[in-house]
Structure 1
Amino acid sequence: MQSSISLPRPIPRTALAQAVLLLLYGASAHAQTPPTAETMLTPVTIRSGAEQENAITPVTGFVAKRALSATKTDTPLLETPQAISVVTRDQMEAQGVQTLRQATAYTAGAVSNYFDSRVDSFSARGGTVTQYQDGLLRIYGTYNTSRPDPYTLERVEFLRGPTSVLYGQGSVGGVLNLTSKRPQADTLREVQVQVGNNARKQIAADLTGALDQEGQWLYRLVAVGRDSGSQLDHVDDDRLVLMPSLTWKPNAATSLTLQALHQKDKSGSLIGFFPWQGTQLPSQYGQIPRNTFISEPGWDAYDTTNNSWGYLFSHQFNSDWTVRQNLRRTVSEVDYRTIYTSFTANAATGRPARPVFNSDNRTVYRDASWQINGGRMLLVDTQIEGKLHTSSGTEHTVLAGLDVQRNQTSQSSWRSVTAAFDVYNPVYGNFRPPTASQLMRQPNVEQRQWGLYAQDQIKWERWTATLGLRHDSAQTDTEGRPAAAIDDKAWSKRAGVTYQMDGGWAPYVGYSESFQPLGGVDVYGTPYKPQRGQQWEAGVKWQPPGQGISAYAALYQLREKNRKTTDPSNPLNSLQLGEVKVNGFEAEMQASLASRWDMTLAYALTDAKISRSNAGDQGQSVASVPKHTASAWLSHRFASEGRGGWVVGAGLRYTGSQWSGTSAISTPSATLADAMAAYDAGDWRVAFNVINLTDKVHITQCLARGDCFYGQARTYTLTSTYRF
């Protein structure tokens, strides 16, 4: 497969041609007459005052007041007619976040049911959550890339509900947008050393500042090196990350940031797909030990290489009009080798197609799998933003954009069934690994999408209305399978209004839509239609003036149509009569008070039901969706003002029980505790963080197909950071 991607259609070529023209324009702007005082765009620098905050710069404390994800413009949260949360760098540092899953652990309604080395997956409001980074899609395909390192992130924004009007195809769950660390004008440098249980040893560095006296060239280098085990025997958690970036600001109106990432991970199978018995249900020999490694030492692997490069470009023509373009190219490779509890049926012995013990109640058969997965992504998003003023006092922030994607996945694979394996007394070495010649190449899958979108944010006195419209065209082709080709087109709409009251209160109401192509055809050769989602949401946000508090409460109702359901006249076919209806309530508060108290409170009620189906499950709950989730975190700094002195904190996370899709088993509720203690001495900071303080053995999910999953065991780290 070629390492470069030719442009698919005239529209993508236009987008990349625009990229060249924009860069040339930015370069020529340096030679032109500098903007006047009226048209100058204030340079981005780090200040302690809240008035300097924007949607990409560092935030002191837990409370951010502005975000990009909900509108693709730098917009106050109070003016956004949709629920959105921001997890700041300071919050991630205080809570000792090691994975993206942990970054959202104290966010209302965000559910991550898998403790996994392969991917950080999320759901919310009864649907999946799509991941973006710096406004561009981060993942396409399955098990073909690496997980992000939280140390490389400045913030995480979680926008709930349908978001297709700005982002194109996606489910009703929402968008998780990761903001990368970017070069800063002020010199900030730190080196971090971390040790922990499971033989964890990590060193990291974050260096940024100006390269010249004029501040036209800014740099940043983020690096992470880790050598670690995991809570499972024989599974590593090693990582190498190099993330350089360079910003060129020839004048106050133009900015070009070049970004690159090189990441190599070495890990393995954290999930064994253990049967119900021995995990959630009783077993003759007790519960399967949580650290049991069911694969084969020395062969098992989830090794990833991820390389990406791109840029973030912005140019302000005058005080009213700005053009932006973001581009990223990603190439990833994964060597995935695993052995797990078998799902292979055996008619001769009566063995079902699900994980079960053999007749001795202690051994299981295992499925072995080897995949070489690849991913190629090319993403471009071009926007123009304008600010218009009318004689009636109405202000418009208009946005028009074109985003283009071309993504390709590849796979070579091998599968087999191995001999019986005793999960209570593992004996390794009886497995004969396959050779590379046994790998079978699978058809490549290529997806192309372009979307045109327009948005108007209208401000009049205390009212703000947000209107959006988008048209998408998405094509997916499977190599050698013309019948599986997909060509979907869709319009998406969004409308909302907020009213800003005295005291920092802002009630709002909004409507939004989503579409998600399913791919494939039914037995009659008819392509499946995309799933379509619709949501109504009403709520209130609160940010009292002069206080470090941001809170919201929201009620919503959404429907997602065209879900597949069983064809009663043909068990080999699926019909698109399936529909899910979700009613929910969410409330969340983040606070940083007088630089001494930091806290988060969150609660979500998610009532997700199957409203239409032919599978006999109409009226039942949607599987793997907890009805209740809640969390609380509180930390206190023992210092009179600012940084310095001791900090202690603790948190509780509650996940309610979940319907598994069968009455034979359910996923139980779980309450977990976290804690931290740190000493900050200005240049030095030493922190001790513990996840799952009581080392509770908990089941995160049981599925109707026959397997259950363990959650994260107690994990502690001691981190020493030196800033200079």
Structure 2
Amino acid sequence: MSLQNLRHRRGILLCCCASIALVSPVLAQDAAGTRLSPVIRLPEITLEAAGTDDDATSIVAQEMAVGGKVATSILDTPASVSVITRAEIERRDARTLEDVLQYSAGTITDYYGTDDRNDYFLLRGFQASTYRDGITLGSMRGIREEPLAYDRVEVIRGANSTLFGVADPGGSVNFVTKRPRAERLRDFSATVGSHDRKELGFDVGDVLTPDATLSWRLTGRVKDAAREYDFSRDDAGFLMGGLTWQPSDVTSVSLIVDRLTQDATPNSGGYPRGGDYDRGLFLGEPEFNYLDVARNTATVIVEHDLGGGLTLRSNLRGSNTSDDYGYVYIAGEDGSFPVGRGYIATDGNAEERAGNVILQYDRQLGRIDSSTLAGLEYRDVTSRQTSYFAAATPIDPRDPVYSGRPDSLVPYLDRRGSTTNKAIFAQQNLSLDDRYILTLGARHDRLDLREESFIAGTDSRDDFAETSLRAALTWKATPELSAYASYAESVAPPAIGIEPERGDQYELGVKYAPLGMNALFSAALYDLRKTNITVVNTDTFDRELVGEIRVRGLDLEAKAELTPEVTLTASYSYTDSEVLRSDPVFGIDVTGNEMGSVPNHAASLWVDYRLAGAGARGDMTFGLGARYTGSYFYNTQNNNGRSEAALLLDAAYSYDITESAQLSLNVHNLTDEKHVVGRGSADYYNPGREIALTLRSRF
């Protein structure tokens, strides 16, 4: 019986029973533990376990939770994958999704600096869609996710609509929600830091019944802080409660309810283009700079083993969101004073209902191990958005004088929209002698769109029927080494009257997970193309068509516990983007140009060194990180300048006061490096140095 899908994780493999059931130390649970979710398939045997990897203590993941709709070995997954575990998120004090993704291959983050309405990131040069437990959250939805809510963040690079449905071609980012566990959990933290940051967090849980069939978990955070510019605030709150019922080894039902709020300022206004200004300078309006976000979500996750190799899974989610903001932006060049300004505001709300039902059938057919996946998915979203504009008094950045709130705002957009998506999908995995794995997938989406414009007095409707395919072949050269070739398609979310953007990707990859070491090394070469693309004019906000863009590149990534004292995360990406064909964009010929915000080279390295305690002194861990981003054009027209190549350093230190208490110090942008990361009507700088001190207690 092959052991290659069970990697070494901080300990040896355990053997028990005459049937030789193999259980990893990381997956092992006592009789009271969670018993069904998720199912990890191996040749000839199925493992049922509480979770995929030891996300709380290790930066290395060997399994995926729902990135492929079912738990699966990363070594056998025919795609370029990164998993950022809870341990890594805490170690780097990652407070936003931009922070979480900073050390992942193929990823560019935070290219709009102090525009804090959204998390901005690109995968392989394109936008990427976000998901929660495999169900879509969308792309740049105006909600910054709370990392504390998740055990891990999984990144699948490149086109993959067959797995997740209508999605942007850059890739998919999947958040894996913390669920109740049949064990006692006590985790409390308090943080103080730069910009008057004060924060309290907790994550607690336990069983409710003597037989451990019912368990609960409560996770929360409250933050009182400012941003790095004057007259700012960055307050937030989050509370999530969950119940899990497991009456037997084959059934699990979880209910998770959470509320996320944000009371902040969305934007500094930017800085005159071509200048060099202090990050603390505020060129907006103190009385008109608000970001109010509230989201309520309820999720039900059901898993049931029907026997005979058949497993049922279902994930249902409902949410309602309000997202209101208003700020003043500037538009002007350095030295041409005063610079122009404008008020802009948006009031938005949305209701969403989404869910899926998935059947998985596993069967042994002689030398072939077969796993068949089929499912249905449904999503219905209704939204209302009203956006306003008004001219603002120009301002002199050398001596800013503020003029207050606008007397009136003129609506330039007032619309109500609805989208219904119904999908059917199937995937077939066939493994021959656990050496050759064939993966085939297909998905068909039907979308109905409606948009009412209350300004234009129109009511528009459209519908789309889109099919996406996926095919891959994986070769297990040894139990430690796999290579794959894959083809995958994507269909981006469409708009009424506009053909959906489509992506096609060819990829070759190799992965190595050495036995005897908790590590994973990967490399991937790809050719990704996207057609029917539109770009946004940052001055007029109009959209115009770009015919076809090609991105070719190389992604390298390593995560390894090299010794008991040293852990390493490293990545390098080479990205070559080119507009292959296009009509002129805003009168400018862009054929042959590079894509905006896409550098040719990007690299990162994080190293931790643990110094064991001696005598009364506890363990200490020293961490140092470096992030390199090469130069890139600010827009696809390549006529608005380009960024400087930049190297940023991060650092971390932790001290174990006792077995249950730890003090941590984190410094982002250690040298306070400053450069322009984005340019539209104004310049936006990268975040400055930030320091945080955290006291954490686990017992």
Tell me if both proteins adopt one fold, taking TM over 0.5 as the criterion. Answer: yes
Aligned to 1:609: 578
SS in 2 for 1:500: strand
- Aligned partner letter, 1:555: L
- Point out the structure with the larger strand share: 2
Aligned to 2:611: 638
Aligned to 2:30: none
- Aligned partner letter, 1:100: L
Q: Pick closer, same or farther for the CA change 1:427–1:54 going to 2, 3 Å.
A: same
Aligned to 1:656: 630
Q: Residue 550 in 1 paired to residue 548 in 2?
A: no
Deviation at 1:412, TM superposition (A): 2.6
Q: Pick closer, same or farther for the CA change 1:263–1:191 going to 2, 3 Å.
A: same
Q: Residue 622 in 1 paired to residue 595 in 2?
A: yes
Unaligned runs of 5+ in 2: 1-32, 39-46
Aligned to 1:502: 478
SS in 1 for 2:107: coil
Deviations 1:668-690 (A, max 9, x none): 11110000110123100100000
Among 432, 451, 463, the alignment partner of 1:460 is 432
Once residues 59 and 540 of structure 1 are traced to their aligned partners in structure 2, the CA distance between those partners, rounded to angstroms, is: 27
Once residues 156 and 140 of structure 1 are traced to their aligned partners in structure 2, the CA distance between those partners, rounded to angstroms, is: 16
Q: Could you state the TM-score of these two structures normalised by the residue count of structure 2?
A: 0.87
1:296-375 matches, cutoff 5 A: 296-342=285-331, 355-356=332-333, 361-375=336-350
Q: Residue 443 in 1 paired to residue 440 in 2?
A: no
**Conserved? CA contact 2:389–2:412, under 8 Å:** no
Among 106, 109, 119, the alignment partner of 1:109 is 106
Q: Pick closer, same or farther for the CA change 1:388–1:52 going to 2, 3 Å.
A: closer
Once residues 151 and 267 of structure 2 are traced to their aligned partners in structure 1, the CA distance between those partners, rounded to angstroms, is: 28
SS in 2 for 1:501: strand
Q: Pick closer, same or farther for the CA change 1:242–1:59 going to 2, 3 Å.
A: closer
Give aligned pairs, total. 641
Aligned to 2:133: 134
Once residues 126 and 466 of structure 2 are traced to their aligned partners in structure 1, the CA distance between those partners, rounded to angstroms, is: 19
Once residues 441 and 583 of structure 1 are traced to their aligned partners in structure 2, the CA distance between those partners, rounded to angstroms, is: 38
Once residues 635 and 649 of structure 1 are traced to their aligned partners in structure 2, the CA distance between those partners, rounded to angstroms, is: 4
SS in 2 for 1:506: strand
SS in 2 for 1:90: helix
Deviation at 1:364, TM superposition (A): 1.2
Deviations 1:166-225 (A, max 9, x none): 211112100000111111112120111100011110011100221122111111100101
Q: Residue 699 in 1 paired to residue 676 in 2?
A: yes
Q: Could you state the TM-score of these two structures normalised by the residue count of structure 1?
A: 0.84
Q: Pick closer, same or farther for the CA change 1:331–1:51 going to 2, 3 Å.
A: closer
Q: Residue 174 in 1 paired to residue 171 in 2?
A: yes
**Conserved? CA contact 2:238–2:260, under 8 Å:** yes
Q: Pick closer, same or farther for the CA change 1:574–1:312 going to 2, 3 Å.
A: closer
Deviations 1:675-715 (A, max 9, x none): 01101231001000000001111221234xx4321111101
Deviations 1:32-87 (A, max 9, x none): xxxxxxxx994569xxxx99674376353110000134421110001111101100
1:280-299 matches, cutoff 5 A: 287-299=276-288
- Aligned partner letter, 2:659: G
Deviation at 1:413, TM superposition (A): 3.0
Q: In terms of mean alpha carbon deviation, does 107-116 or 56-65 score higher?
A: 56-65
Q: Residue 519 in 1 paired to residue 492 in 2?
A: no
**Conserved? CA contact 1:152–1:243, under 8 Å:** yes
1:153-552 matches, cutoff 5 A: 153-278=150-275, 287-342=276-331, 355-356=332-333, 361-390=336-365, 392-428=366-402, 430-434=403-407, 442-461=414-433, 462-479=435-452, 484-502=460-478, 504-520=480-496, 527-552=497-522
Q: Name the Cα RMSD after superposition.
A: 2.6
Deviation at 1:135, TM superposition (A): 1.1
Q: In terms of mean alpha carbon deviation, does 373-382 or 573-582 score higher?
A: 573-582
Once residues 469 and 590 of structure 2 are traced to their aligned partners in structure 1, the CA distance between those partners, rounded to angstroms, is: 31
Deviation at 1:239, TM superposition (A): 0.8
**Conserved? CA contact 2:217–2:242, under 8 Å:** yes
Q: In terms of mean alpha carbon deviation, does 291-300 or 161-170 score higher?
A: 291-300
Once residues 298 and 377 of structure 1 are traced to their aligned partners in structure 2, the CA distance between those partners, rounded to angstroms, is: 33
**Conserved? CA contact 2:216–2:244, under 8 Å:** yes
- Aligned partner letter, 1:397: S
**Conserved? CA contact 1:70–1:84, under 8 Å:** no
Deviation at 1:142, TM superposition (A): 4.7
Once residues 256 and 460 of structure 1 are traced to their aligned partners in structure 2, the CA distance between those partners, rounded to angstroms, is: 34
Once residues 41 and 716 of structure 1 are traced to their aligned partners in structure 2, the CA distance between those partners, rounded to angstroms, is: 38
- Aligned partner letter, 1:220: R
- Point out the structure with the larger helix share: 1
Deviation at 1:441, TM superposition (A): 7.4
**Conserved? CA contact 2:447–2:465, under 8 Å:** yes
Once residues 343 and 35 of structure 2 are traced to their aligned partners in structure 1, the CA distance between those partners, rounded to angstroms, is: 58
Once residues 699 and 69 of structure 1 are traced to their aligned partners in structure 2, the CA distance between those partners, rounded to angstroms, is: 37
SS in 2 for 1:528: coil
Q: Percent identity?
A: 30
Once residues 301 and 258 of structure 2 are traced to their aligned partners in structure 1, the CA distance between those partners, rounded to angstroms, is: 14
